[in-house]
Structure 1
Amino acid sequence: MSGSGTEELAGRRAAFSLQWQMLAGFLIGLAAGLVAYAVTPGAPWIDAVTRYLTGPIGQIFLRLLFMLVIPLLVSALIVGIAEMGEMRSLRRVGLRTLLYTLIVSGIAVVISLALVNLLQPGSGVDPAQARALLADAGQGAKAILDRGADTPTGMQALIAIVPDNVIAAMADNDILAVMVFALFFGIGLVLVQTKETKLLLDAMEGLFAVTMRLISIVIRLAPIAIACFMFNLAAQFGWDLLLRLSAYVGVVLLALAIQMFGIYSLLIGLPARRSPLRFFAAVQEASVMAFATASSNATLPTAIRVAEEKLHLPRRIARFVLTIGATANQNGTAMFEGITVLFLAQFFHVDLSLGQQLMVMLVCILGGVGTAGVPAGSLPVVAMILAMVGIPPEGIGLVLGVDRLLDMCRTALNVTGDLVAATVISAREEISAVPSPPAPTR
């Protein structure tokens, strides 16, 4: 037991150290790019550095992420859906948990999309500079943009989310179609519970564990990749980049605050019939732990103890909902992903139609189910969505440097949201458990 605790503590320290390394890479790349922009704007040596050094390093980092994102999301979704049906006594709770997650996550993403469209944090960049950056992005980004131009719309887009060949969907990076397949596969594992399907579920869990381990190795390269990304961007955009980043951070924090103190307060006050002030006072320990660790999984033991000892929720419901919620009910992550995608679309002048924005919203909701509850766990999903809608994936370097603060804030929202879900579902279960009065005898 003590050995396991030591390994967990070492893992937290390593993750925290990595976040500071990412921040350092962000600042170093930003400073170097700003100096180059101020001293020798448009110099030939800057083009040579970006073309032969910083550009290829960033491309390799992104390709490693894209290589792993499909197996990660497929295995995570299949295992997450299958585990919801393993406990027969909690089938009703599982259905309510799933329905609650989809509805509240949908509200969260709608708030995010409304704010980012209203406030336009990424607009105002010189289109000529943006086009120049796109021209220097390399063949990989150009191919993504060409593929995004061929994206189906309207009824064809609706039909296209159901893949006729899942292998082809994976090869084409049609992530929404792959997610639909994974959801159906997970439902199939719920409906068919045999010894063979249990082995299949174990294999999916093994695939998830291996993919997570490989992504953790790739993420260690993030500080170097971030420095390269930021040098390329700052050398092109100069001081205007800082203004856009501050606007982006402000919009993310505003969206998280509306969800935390607006939507969650309504859920606690109406369906759960509790005092929002008392609720937030009771869960502050779990919220602070989530903020400090930036990990829903690391905060899970604290959240369970808070639910049982301070909120006095039924043990079977609290443990089920919080365990599922640590992976599936991630409102903050869905909001962050939605805002980031639209911010970068505005920054690079990639026009997304209403249909494409709704598709982004759906992928963010489903991506929340498949996002690992660890620091920087949403990074592969964000990179995947950027590629899917035709936004240069190199732009992810813009947000990685400020991601530490945003990761801490959205994790606090995720964990608080799990406790809200457990409270609401417990209240509904208590109402359902009240026996109906006996019919009057004549």
Structure 2
Amino acid sequence: MSHAAATVTPPERGLALHWKVLIGFAVGIIGGAIAYLAGPQSAIVSGLVDYVAAPGGQLFLNLLFMLVLPLMFTALILGVTEIGDIASLGRIGWRTLIYTGVVTSIAIAIGLLVVHLIEPGRAFDPAVRDALLAGSAQKAHAITDSKPTLSVIEMILGIVPRNVVKAASNGDFLAVMFFAIMLGVALVLTPTPATQRFREAIQGLNELVMKLIGMVVKLTPYAVACLMFALTARFGWDTLMTLAWYAFSVLLAIAIHGFVVLPLWVRFMGGMSPRRFFRDSQEAILTAFSTASSTGTLPTTLKCAEQNLRLPPKVARFVLTIGASANHHGTALFEGLTVLFLVQCFGVELGWVQQIMVLGLCILGSIGTAGVPAGSLPVIAMILTYLHVPPEAIGIILGVDRFLDMCRTALNVTGDLATAVVVARREGADTTEEAPAAG
């Protein structure tokens, strides 16, 4: 049983989380706008921002950062061990791996291109940027003035840690990710009872971390209200306009990949009409959009693949189960675009080598991303740390992240199904056969 399937959570009762987040977003903005009109320098407004809203939002971020290392470490090990099933499935496994890598790279490249063309972070007020580092002015200047100037050789050598514990304590998550991948490879190559028990222990730790993330995510509406109130009360509408441009950039990149790249891929590599593909996949795509969880959507995704798209069960079950934990087109695109947006906000210039490193980190990060709402935020925080940008910067995007999370999850599931169609065609299945519409 894959760790993707093990993380499925039961549906929430009462008001859905995305509606709660939307309410928190509205409350924060309206309250912040009123406070800004009343005077951001007044004692009451300053007290609310400095002693209520800002600490409340920071507490949420600290809880999230606390889980970054164990989440990335365990998820990458489990992801590699699941992909390790490639050895037993031969061509299907290798094709899944290659197609996932290629199309995920295209998705990230689209995100990077869009953020370069629109540059939503360039107009970001430096005062807002420095406020995110409140209480540490010296650190703010050190971070905003720093530039990643490592050579290619130094970056490659830095990937392999001499001391993985020291690397973890120093926040060098790239080195920790490399160690996790190597550990996963060793687990695949050493199928003994002892290593199986170790994998089960890693699985247990991953499930505990996922449970904690689920508990923290329930605080998102309150954190969004606090963060939006603090930003709007201090800086007014300019911050919201920057967020609007950022959200537009994400949606544009998702639309290009979802409605241009994937249909062309399905048509020319999978031999299937895009119209039929979207018609027969709509139930899974809509479920993914409404739940913002690719793992929670997995049963519906499998049903659409086998009953509607008529894909061979062997191909569908392998590709989609792996895809729920490792084939995250939308997540990878979002992570790359968001990282560059925040890098722009903080005035850090990245060369092409660093941006290629970001692409690679996003591919690895999408493998280790939890398939639950807000699962990509810890990965973004990790990448920001590597680029010398404060991970607290993700507080800027929390207000609009929930809706964007729903959109990128829908793209994740669409990408999974598209990959299954292509792999099935390459394995000789007849994907041109029409199937009755899902009903």
- By the TM > 0.5 criterion, same fold? yes
Residues in 2 aligned to 1:311 and 1:57: alpha-carbon distance in whole angstroms: 47
Partner of 1:405: 403
Distance 1:210 1:184, change over 3 A: same
Structure 2 CA distance for partners of 1:359 and 1:123, relative to 1, 3 Å: same
Question: 1:313 is paired with a residue of what secondary structure?
Answer: coil
Counterpart-to-counterpart distance in 2, 1:394 and 1:265? 37
Query: Is 1:12 aligned with 2:11?
Result: yes
Q: Any residues of structure 2 matched to 1:32-431 within 5 Å, and which?
A: 32-86=31-85, 89-127=88-126, 129-130=127-128, 132-133=130-131, 136=134, 138=136, 142=140, 145=143, 149=147, 152-430=150-428
Range that drifts further, 178-187 or 342-351 = 342-351
Q: Which runs of 5+ in 1 are unaligned?
A: 1-6, 432-442
Instruction: State the alpha-carbon separation in 1 of the partners of residues 385 and 14 from structure 2.
Output: 26
Deviation at 1:209, TM superposition (A): 0.4
Q: Which amino acid aligns with 1:32?
A: G
Structure 2 CA distance for partners of 1:50 and 1:106, relative to 1, 3 Å: same
* Aligned residue pair count: 423
Residues 417 and 54 (structure 1 numbering): CA distance in 2 closer, same or farther, change over 3 Å? same
Query: Does the CA-based 8 Å contact 2:32-2:229 persist in structure 1?
Result: yes
Secondary structure at the counterpart of residue 193 of structure 1:
coil
Q: What are the superposed Cα offsets for residues 76-98 of structure 1, whole Å, 9 maximum, x if unpaired?
A: 11111112224753133222212
Residues 369-413 of structure 1: per-residue CA shift (max 9 Å, x gap): 111112222222223333332333333233222222212211111
Instruction: For residue 284 of structure 1, report the CA deviation from its aligned partner.
Output: 1.6
Instruction: State the AA in 1 paired with 2:272.
Output: R
CA distance in 2, matches of 1:138, 1:163: 29
State how far apart, in whole Å, the 1-side matches of 2:113 and 2:147 are.
Answer: 24
The 8 Å contact of residues 77 and 181 in structure 2, kept in 1 or not, is answered as: yes
Distance 2:88 2:125 in 1: 59
Q: 1:133–1:236: 8 Å Cα contact kept in structure 2? A: no
Q: Which amino acid in the other structure matches residue 12 of structure 1?
A: P
Counterpart contact for 1:109–1:335, Cα < 8 Å: yes
Contact 1:331 1:414 survives alignment (8 Å): yes
Confirm or deny: 8 A CA contact 2:172 2:386 kept in the other structure: yes
**Per-residue deviation, 1:149:** 4.8
8 Å contact from structure 1 (residues 229, 395) kept in 2: no
Kindly provide the amino acid, as one letter, of the partner of residue 226 in structure 1. V
Equivalents in 2 of 1:207, 1:139: separation in Å?
37
What is the CA-CA distance between 1:301 and the residue it aligns to? 1.2
Using the alignment, how far apart are the partners of 1:195 and 1:284 within structure 2? 42
- Which stretch has the larger CA shift, 24-33 or 386-395? 386-395
| Letter of the 1:100 counterpart | Y
- Tell me how far apart the structure 2 counterparts of residues 144 and 25 of structure 1 sit (CA, whole Å): 33
Structure 1 residues 148-198: Cα deviation after superposition (integer angstroms, max 9, x where no partner):
657734321122122222111211111222111111111111111111111
* Residue identity matched to 1:429: E
Q: Which amino acid aligns with 1:117?
A: H
Query: Which shifted more, 99-108 or 399-408?
Result: 399-408
Distance 1:427 1:297 in 2: 25
Contact between 1:34 and 1:234, CA under 8 Å: does it hold in 2? yes
Distance 2:87 2:351 in 1: 43
Aligned to 1:434: none
For 1:270 and 1:132, how far apart are their aligned partners in 2? 49
**Secondary structure at 2:67 match in 1:** helix
How big is the shift at 1:201? Answer: 0.8
CA contact 2:144–2:389 (8 Å) conserved in 1: no
- Taking the aligned partners of 2:414 and 2:237, their CA distance within structure 1 comes to 37
How many angstroms apart in 1 are the aligned matches of 2:75 and 2:147? 29
Tell me: CA distance 1:144–1:167, structure 2 relative to 1, closer, same or farther (3 Å): farther
Range with bigger deviation, 199-208 or 149-158? 149-158
| Separation (CA, whole Å) in 2 of partners of 1:242 and 1:24 | 16
**What do you get for the CA RMSD once the two structures are aligned?**
2.6
SS at match of 2:427: helix
Deviating more after overlay: 184-193 vs 144-153 = 144-153
Q: Which is worse superposed, 199-208 or 290-299?
A: 290-299
State, as a whole percentage, how many aligned pairs show the same letter: 48
1:61/1:225 contact within 8 Å kept: yes
Q: Is the 8 A contact 1:348 1:391 kept in 2?
A: yes
TM-score, normalised by the number of residues in structure 1: 0.88
Distance 2:141 2:174 in 1: 19
Change in 2 beyond 3 A, CA 1:209/1:306? same
Q: Find the aligned partners of 1:269 and 1:88 in 2 and give their Cα distance.
A: 29
In structure 1, what is the Cα distance between the partners aligned to 2:402 and 2:368?
Answer: 20
Q: CA deviation at 1:264?
A: 0.8
Q: Deviations over 1:76-128 (max 9, x none)?
A: 1111111222475313322221222111111100110010011111222344x
- Which whole-Å CA distance do the structure 2 matches of 1:197 and 1:144 have between them? 44
SS at match of 1:283: helix
Deviates further, 147-156 or 407-416: 147-156
- 1:440 matched to which residue of 2? none
The one-letter amino acid of 2:352's match is L
- Tell me what 2:434 maps to: none
SS of the residue corresponding to residue 117 of structure 1 reads helix
Q: Tell me the CA shift for residue 241 of structure 1.
A: 1.7
Are the equivalent residues in 2 in contact too, given 1:144–1:391 (CA < 8 A)? no
Query: Which whole-Å CA distance do the structure 1 matches of 2:49 and 2:285 have between them?
Result: 42
